[in-house]
Structure formats: structure tokens, C-alpha cells
């Protein structure tokens, strides 16, 4: 497969898979098996009619891509966003399969998406849209089959509406049909801290394996919201210094330190980081090329490409977002000595705690936050060590190490079940 500077998400995912297979003697997947894993098992497209508050009916297009259930069942997020392509939904479902596999939990990958700007809907319209999405899909989802969770612009409240609708349709209260729910609806402790906490644990482990530590490191974080902001707070507690941080429009910079408590207060008031006074303020252009030890892209895809990869100065990049570094940029960064901790390892904390939530729902027994954190730490230690050592053994970067592990586990399951 030829690469270009214009690879879409699906092409990029397939390029990453192919690279992992070709550089490793331990990747035992042949051409026929690669063809199987390169395509989702099922892609569903829906038109969802919703009666709006003004009485008019509006139709919303929605997708559901179910990639692999070899490790059963399908798992992961429903995204509400106005920008999407069918190929992007397919790619994200593939990445979820690999993410579940590399952290070694018994789940496969899928992705759901409704083309909508949720900020344009009232609460009642949002609830109707959420419930009708479930009505269109309920025969294809549910415990032991396909368990949705929140993603971009979806919330615990939306998951509660969806779980309630599914329960009504199957005539049985089914808290395990969705994860990421409020605690009052069978949600798990630690869910909304998990992605950031997992990312910190991954970073700690990789630095430890490199005979290094987080303390005194200068950190730049792209996107001061949710996981990115929580991660900034956790890194400061461990002795790092946040010197750059952004929102969607602006970066602020102070080479001595940025007070994350003040940034958190601004964001809680829905204000921009540009209102942080004790810092230099910059627009978004070229800011990923700033001087720092650790760069954390926590926003959108395709942030580091061949166009800017040569200018990246960070020694470590931790992908808290999905696919911020393209496959071509991986090669450049590796050549320049930058370690990229890939998304399918680095941001897997949410899916891990979603798995824990499923287990708790199934048993109707709920764990306290310290127990969940301990389980999270144990899982990440094993996963990070495996990816790091596989990459070193094959003289390659960590994304290839992660894909080698993930694809081998998926195909071991498929072979054992007689699927290939």
C-alpha cells in the first residue's frame, strides 16, 4: 500500500497494521488473515427521525461499525459530532479492537457516531435522539453482544437514557447494556479519571524502563479539558511542570510554570486559557513544535504529520487523543529519537474501567475507587512492559510493538475458534 500525505483514517490504520506485520518475525499473520482484519464485520447506517421542539421532524444520519468480536463482545464509544466519514468510523472501530487486545481484556472493537452538533439541540431533543438511536440498534447491541460507552460529546446522562431505552425495549432492567453511566444507574467509580490516570501510569512505566522519571519534566498539553486537564493536575502532583497548555483556539506559555488550578477554574467557568494572565499567549499555529520534554496531544486526529514532525522537539509524545500522529510521522519521529507512546496503549484507561463496569454490572457488586485504581495500575504495568519490550526486540517504535501484540492476540482467538 502506497502512502501519501493525504491518507484518510482507514488507510492510515491499514498502513499501521501492515508495518507491524512486515517488521516483525513474531507477527504470524498471512495475507489472507490480513485481509480479514482489514475490514469491519458489519457497518450499520441509520436515519434517525427526531421531532424537534418546534414540532418539525429532522432526520439524523448515524453509523455503527463492528470490527472484530474474536475476543467478544464488541465494545466502545458513541460519538455525537457533525464531522465524520464512513471510513473514519471503520478506522476507529479497528483501533478499538487493537486497544482492547493490547491491554488484554476480552472485548472487541466498534464505533458509533451520530452526525449532529449536540450544542444545537435542547436537552429534550438530545434525549429523543439518544433514545431513537437505541431503538434503531437494539437488536444488535446488549450484554454479551455489543456494549456501547460514551465518547466525544456523549455523557453519563446520555448513557443513562440509552440504557433506560434498551431496558424498556427488552423488558428487563439491563445496566450492563451500556457503560460510562452515572453511579446511580450502575456506573463505576473512577470512570472519568481513568483515561488521564492510565496515561500517567503508562508514562511513568515507559520513563522507568528508560531509567528516567516524570519529576522536573517540562510538559506541553494540547487541550485543557477533560482528560488533558486531569492529566495536567496529576503530572504536577508527581513533580512535572506544565509550561504550555491550550484550548481549541489558544496556547499559553510560561517557562517557569503554569498554575493548573487557575486553568481548571477558567475552564470550569467555560472561559478560554487566554484569560490566564501570567503567561505568553499564542495562536494555535505550530505550537506542537514547542520546547518541552513531554508533549501530550489530547485533542484531535492528524496533529503531527510529515509537515511538522521534523520540527518536534519533545523527547516523549503521549497520545491521549486518538490518532494524533500519522503513520508517516511515526517514522520521522523514531529517526529523530522521539518516543511516541501510542494511543491504543496510552489512552486505554477509559475502556479498561468500562470493562470493569461491565463486570460489576454482571455481578451486581460494585468496587470502591481505590480497588479500581489498583486494578488499573496492575493492568497498565503488564501492558506497557509488553509493548516496550516487543518494540525493543524488533528495533522499532512502540506503535508497531503494540500492533504486533494486538493482532497476534486477535488472530490467536480467531484460529482457536476456527474463524480463519
**How many CA atoms lie less than 13 Å away from 100 in the CB half-sphere?**
28
Question: Crossing angle, helix 227-237 and helix 260-268, to 10 degrees?
Answer: 160
Phi, psi dihedral angles at 283 (to 5 degrees): -70, 175
Q: Distance (Å, rounded) from C-alpha 406 to C-alpha 103?
A: 8
Which of 115, 66, 92, 112 has the alpha carbon at shortest distance from 9?
A: 92
- Sign of torsion, CA 12 13 15 19? positive
Strand partners, 328: none
Q: Are 98 and 344 in contact (CB under 8 A)?
A: yes
Cis peptide before 73 (omega within 30 of 0): yes
| Length, in residues, of the chain | 420
Report CA 99 to chain centroid distance, whole Å. Answer: 9
Is 111 annotated as catalytic? yes
Cell 464509544 locates to 77
Catalytic residue among 111, 181, 205, 217: 111
Which of 186, 63, 195 has the alpha carbon at shortest distance from 136?
A: 63
Phi, psi dihedral angles at 65 (to 5 degrees): -110, 120
CA-CA-CA-CA dihedral for 29, 336, 199, 153, to nearest 10:
-80
Residues with catalytic annotation? 111
Amino acid at each position: 500500500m502506497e502512502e501519501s500525505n493525504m491518507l484518510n483514517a482507514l488507510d492510515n490504520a491499514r498502513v499501521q497494521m501492515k508495518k507491524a506485520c512486515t517488521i516483525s518475525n513474531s507477527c504470524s499473520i498471512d495475507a489472507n488473515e490480513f485481509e480479514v482484519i482489514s475490514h469491519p464485520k458489519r457497518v450499520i447506517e441509520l436515519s434517525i427521525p427526531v421531532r424537534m421542539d418546534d414540532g418539525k421532524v429532522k432526520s439524523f444520519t448515524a453509523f455503527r461499525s463492528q470490527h472484530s468480536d474474536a475476543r467478544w463482545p464488541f465494545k466502545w464509544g458513541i460519538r455525537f459530532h457533525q464531522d465524520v466519514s464512513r471510513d473514519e468510523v471503520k478506522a476507529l472501530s479497528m483501533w478499538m479492537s487493537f486497544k482492547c487486545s493490547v491491554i488484554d481484556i476480552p472485548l472487541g472493537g466498534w464505533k458509533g457516531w451520530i452526525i449532529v452538533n449536540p450544542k444545537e439541540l435542547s436537552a429534550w431533543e438530545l434525549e429523543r435522539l439518544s433514545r431513537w438511536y437505541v431503538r434503531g440498534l437494539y437488536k444488535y447491541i446488549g450484554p454479551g453482544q455489543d456494549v456501547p460507552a460514551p465518547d466525544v460529546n456523549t455523557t453519563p446522562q446520555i448513557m443513562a437514557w440509552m440504557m433506560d431505552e434498551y431496558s424498556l425495549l427488552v423488558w428487563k432492567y439491563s445496566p450492563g447494556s451500556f457503560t460510562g453511566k452515572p453511579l446511580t444507574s450502575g456506573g463505576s467509580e473512577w470512570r472519568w479519571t481513568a483515561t488521564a490516570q492510565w496515561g500517567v501510569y503508562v508514562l511513568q512505566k515507559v520513563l522507568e524502563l528508560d531509567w528516567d522519571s516524570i519529576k522536573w519534566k517540562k510538559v506541553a498539553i494540547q487541550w485543557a479539558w477533560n482528560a488533558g486537564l486531569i492529566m495536567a493536575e496529576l503530572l504536577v502532583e508527581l513533580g512535572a511542570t506544565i509550561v504550555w497548555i491550550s484550548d481549541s483556539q489558544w496556547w499559553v506559555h510560561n517557562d517557569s510554570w503554569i498554575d493548573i488550578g487557575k486553568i481548571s477554574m477558567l475552564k470550569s467557568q467555560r472561559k478560554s486559557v487566554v484569560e490566564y494572565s501570567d503567561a505568553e499567549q499564542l495562536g494555535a499555529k505550530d505550537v506542537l513544535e514547542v520546547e518541552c520534554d513531554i508533549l501530550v496531544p489530547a485533542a484531535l486526529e492528524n496533529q503531527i504529520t510529515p509537515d511538522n514532525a521534523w520540527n518536534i522537539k519533545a523527547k516523549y509524545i503521549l497520545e491521549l487523543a486518538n490518532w494524533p500522529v500519522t503513520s508517516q510521522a511515526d517514522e520521522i519521529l523514531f529517526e529523530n529519537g522521539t518516543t511516541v507512546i501510542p494511543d491504543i496503549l496510552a489512552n486505554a484507561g477509559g475502556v479498561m474501567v468500562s470493562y470493569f463496569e461491565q463486570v460489576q454490572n454482571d455481578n451486581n457488586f460494585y468496587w470502591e475507587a481505590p480497588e479500581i485504581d489498583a486494578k488499573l495500575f496492575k493492568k497498565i504495568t503488564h501492558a506497557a512492559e509488553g509493548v516496550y519490550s516487543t518494540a525493543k526486540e524488533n528495533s522499532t517504535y512502540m506503535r508497531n510493538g503494540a500492533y504486533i501484540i494486538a493482532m497476534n492476540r486477535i488472530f490467536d482467538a480467531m484460529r482457536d475458534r476456527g474463524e480463519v
